[in-house]
Amino acid sequence: MSEASVAVHADADLLAQAVAARLVVKLLDAQAERGQAAVVLTGGRIAAAVYRAVAALPARDAVDWSRVDVWWGDERFLPAGDPERNETQARAALLDAVPLDPARVHPMPASDGPAGADPEAGAAAYAQELARAARPGHATLPHFDVLMLGVGEDGHVASVFPEHPVHHDNRPVSAVRGSPKPPPLRTTLTLPAINTAEEVWLVASGADKARAVGMALAGAGPVQLPAAGVQGVTRTLWLLDRAAAADVPPRSRSLR
């Protein structure tokens, strides 16, 4: 697994623009190498800002969006189109503006979808969809070029919360009941699945994230602080603004 590296940007706007530029370059590099690219999206304010920044980049048109697979790291188990769903946010900010192949966009199940109103059934259905996209006989998960995560004030990533039973689930996708952050029902990739990604980017902005970021980089335990348990296969990259990086030792930072 990779060592973590840290890049710090002056403020949230510059952070979003920098992550957007990195994402376009990563997708282009993956397509040059493999003929296609796969990204796992997240939700939240900074993620939405990143997606809007990608949509505004002229370089976005260099990506062959018809050869990009889009997955999600977690989802709120709500009806399709609900404004609180990460899918709804991503579609409004970016996905509806680029020529994706609809068959390569893989939202997590909605509570009113074919899997029904049971989040366990939704998690199982998403695991099956991931397995269908994996190389036959080789893996239960497809290749993820980059997986993006936000970081909660409590150090949660995706919908893996501190001390939550999902930590004991080794399946790639888990249902979450009793989430400490509303809504209470969710589906999420588990840490073992997250850590299969080639690169994992943890994106955080704001002073309310500083303590969790600092503790994760200082080596906190992943059950108590899930962000500390995230590692990409080739790269683990923390992308922060100065406020979120307040508790990161200066020697660990690469300022931009």
Q: What is the pLDDT of residues 165-219, one digit of tens each?
A: 999 999 999 999 999 999 999 999 999 999 999 999 999 999 999 999 999 999 9
- Number of Cβ within a 10 Å radius of residue 28: 15
> Within 10 A of 114 (CB to CB), how many other CB atoms are there?
9
255 domain-assigned: no
- pLDDT the model gives residue 17: 98
Task: Give the per-residue pLDDT at 252.
Answer: 67
Please indicate, yes or no, if residue 64 is contained in any of the structural domains: yes
Q: In the predicted model, what is the mean pLDDT of residues 33-43?
A: 98
Q: Cα separation of 256 and 254, whole Å?
A: 7
Question: What's 23's domain CATH number?
Answer: 3.40.50.1360
Where in the sequence is the domain holding 161, given as residue range(s)? 4-249
200 bridge partner residues: 147, 236
Q: Using CA atoms, how far apart are residues 110 and 208, in angstroms rounded to an integer?
A: 30
CB atoms within 10 A of CB 3: 7
Query: What rounded mean pLDDT belongs to the chain?
Result: 96
**pLDDT per residue over 127-169, tens digit each?**
999 999 998 766 789 999 999 999 999 999 999 999 999 999 9
Query: Does pTM top 0.85 for this prediction?
Result: yes
> How many C-beta neighbours within 10 Å does residue 107 have?
21
- Model confidence over 60-93: pLDDT tens digits? 999 999 999 999 999 999 999 999 999 999 999 9
> For the sheet containing 74-76, what is the strand order?
74-76, 186-189, 173-176
> Is the pLDDT score of 109 beyond 90?
yes
Around Cβ 103, how many Cβ atoms within 10 Å? 8
- Asked if the structure places residue 189 within a domain, the reply is yes
| Within-domain flag for 132 | yes
Show the 3-state SS of the chain. Answer: CCCEEEEEECCHHHHHHHHHHHHHHHHHHHHHHHCCEEEEECCCHHHHHHHHHHHHCHHHHHCCHHHEEEEECEEECCCCCCCCCHHHHHHHHCHHHCCCCHHHECCCCCCCCCCCCCHHHHHHHHHHHHHHHCCCCCCCCCCCCEEEEECCCCCCECCECCCCHHHHCCCCEEEECCCCCCCCCEEEECHHHHCCCCEEEEEECCHHHHHHHHHHHCCCCCCCCHHHHCCCCCEEEEEEECCCCCCCCHHHEEEC
- pLDDT score at 135: 81
- pLDDT, mean of residues 117-125: 98
Q: 238 and 15 in contact (C-beta within 8 Å)?
A: no
Please give the tally of structural domains in the chain.
1
Mean predicted confidence (pLDDT) in 221-235: 97
226: in domain: yes
According to DSSP, the residues that pair with 105 across neighbouring strands are: 70
In a domain, 176, yes or no: yes
For residue 256, being part of any structural domain is answered with: no
Query: Would residue 14 count as lying in a domain?
Result: yes
